[in-house]
């Protein structure tokens, strides 16, 4: 993926174009997604290192910026990872915060349906084949007006995240990793509930449950723990 760098005479305009796309997309959504994207935009505007393409901010500082508690920060950052808008560049450890970067191509693909509402000049600028400035590594703007989203582009829509459960965020994460695998095995799994640190999932058939348990249980558990560290076991039942 090409990266946006804060060099060259067009760099500032490219940043504004990206933030405009995010804002237009959020305004067409409900209150939950609006608040989530606004929080990301504020964080990016305040703390994103465009030259290095990274975000290195502790949860306490983010909580102060967003006027929320650290639990909310953890939940919102997990949603942004599940959407694919933020990816972990370096996992945090003792004395070191997690380092993120924006997946700019993913953000543009997700927001492309809102470009026309911004204006024809914006849409034309974002869909041209290249930015003619040798000093700038541009945004990945070679997206056709036909769209890189939706079933017509060989993609299937991600799960609805409105219920806010850990399983919905995990499904969105799995969808972003491999849509074919997601459609075949993960989409049909439903959340039955929690038993302490155990997440209970329901499969549509015994074969489906046995196959997922044999081949993908560890993958699902790893995805669960990336959004909710309190999950230490996944059980698939029929």
For 154-173, the pLDDT digits (tens) are: 567 778 777 788 999 899 88
Closest CA to 67 of 94, 101, 103, 43: 43
Distance CA 92, CA 56 (A): 10
Other CB atoms within 10 Å distance of the CB of residue 124: 11
pLDDT of residue 131: 39
Backbone angles phi, psi at 120, to 5 degrees: -65, -30
What DSSP letter does each residue of 210-231 carry, written as one string? HHHHHHTHHHHHHHHHHH-TT-
Other CB atoms within 10 Å distance of the CB of residue 180: 9
Confidence of residue 57 (pLDDT cuts 50, 70, 90): very high
Distance CA 84, CA 172 (A): 9
Does the structure show a pLDDT above 90 at 228?
Answer: no
pLDDT of residue 96: 84
- Domains (range + CATH), the chain: 11-127 (1.10.10.10), 166-237 (3.30.300.180)
pLDDT of residue 10: 53
pTM score of the predicted model: 0.57
**Highest mean predicted confidence (pLDDT) among 137-141, 194-198, 213-217:** 194-198
Cα angle 79-82-84, degrees, rounded to a multiple of 5: 115
For 10-45, the pLDDT digits (tens) are: 556 678 889 999 999 999 999 999 999 999 999 999
């Amino acid at each position: 993926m090409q990266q946006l760098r804060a060099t060259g005479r067009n760099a500032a305009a490219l940043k504004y174009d990206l933030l405009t796309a995010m804002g237009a997309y959020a305004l067409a959504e409900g209150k939950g997604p609006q608040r989530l994207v606004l929080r990301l935009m504020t964080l990016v505007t305040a703390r994103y290192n465009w030259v290095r393409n990274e975000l290195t901010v502790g949860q306490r500082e983010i909580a102060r910026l967003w006027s929320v508690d650290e639990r909310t920060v953890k939940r919102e950052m997990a949603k942004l990872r599940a959407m694919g808008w933020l990816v972990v560049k370096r996992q945090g450890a003792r004395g070191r915060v997690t380092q993120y970067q924006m997946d700019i191509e993913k953000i543009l693909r997700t927001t492309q349906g809102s470009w026309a509402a911004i204006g024809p000049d914006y849409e034309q600028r974002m869909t041209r084949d290249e930015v003619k400035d040798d000093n700038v590594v541009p945004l990945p703007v070679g997206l056709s007006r036909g769209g890189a989203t939706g079933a017509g582009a060989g993609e299937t829509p991600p799960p609805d995240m409105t219920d806010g459960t850990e399983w919905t965020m995990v499904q969105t994460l799995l969808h972003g990793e491999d849509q074919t695998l997601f459609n075949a095995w993960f989409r049909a799994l439903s959340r039955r509930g929690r038993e302490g640190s155990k997440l209970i999932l329901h499969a549509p058939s015994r074969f489906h449950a046995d196959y997922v348990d044999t081949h993908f249980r560890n993958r699902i558990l790893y995805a669960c723990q990336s959004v909710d560290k309190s999950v230490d076991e996944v059980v698939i039942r029929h």
